[in-house]
């Protein structure tokens, strides 16, 4: 379909229908603008990021890696 035919088709519509066409075009632009923006985002290697890299050589205690329920069970109890 060429532009002239599209323009003729739109011009033949009632004003309310032309408004709907305009709103639909705006919806499509917004929708595909988001997709285009996502596609243009550079892919990064998270492991190579400086902030993430500061944790590379960290020593982790076994308690930190334990499930939360075990951490609570093994936590020292305070007397009240």
Task: Provide the mean pLDDT of the chain.
Answer: 76
Is 34 strand, coil or helix?
helix
How many whole angstroms separate alpha carbon 21 and alpha carbon 2?
Answer: 17
The average pLDDT across 68-79 equals 63
How many whole angstroms separate alpha carbon 36 and alpha carbon 55?
Answer: 34
Residue 18 in tokens: 């032309």
Q: Compute, in degrees rounded to 10, the torsion defined by CA atoms 47, 48, 54, 55.
A: 10
Residue 68 in tokens: 């939360």
Domain ranges of the chain: 3-74
Check if the beta carbon of residue 11 is closer than 8 Å to that of residue 21. no
pTM, entire model: 0.42
The average pLDDT across 58-75 equals 60
């Amino acid at each position: 379909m060429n532009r002239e035919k599209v323009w003729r088709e739109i011009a033949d519509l009632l004003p309310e229908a032309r408004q709907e066409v305009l709103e639909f075009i705006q919806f499509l632009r917004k929708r595909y603008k988001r997709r285009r923006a996502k596609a243009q985002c550079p892919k990064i290697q998270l492991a190579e990021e400086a902030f993430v890299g500061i944790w590379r050589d960290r020593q982790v205690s076994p308690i930190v890696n334990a499930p939360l329920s075990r951490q609570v069970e093994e936590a020292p109890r305070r007397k009240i």
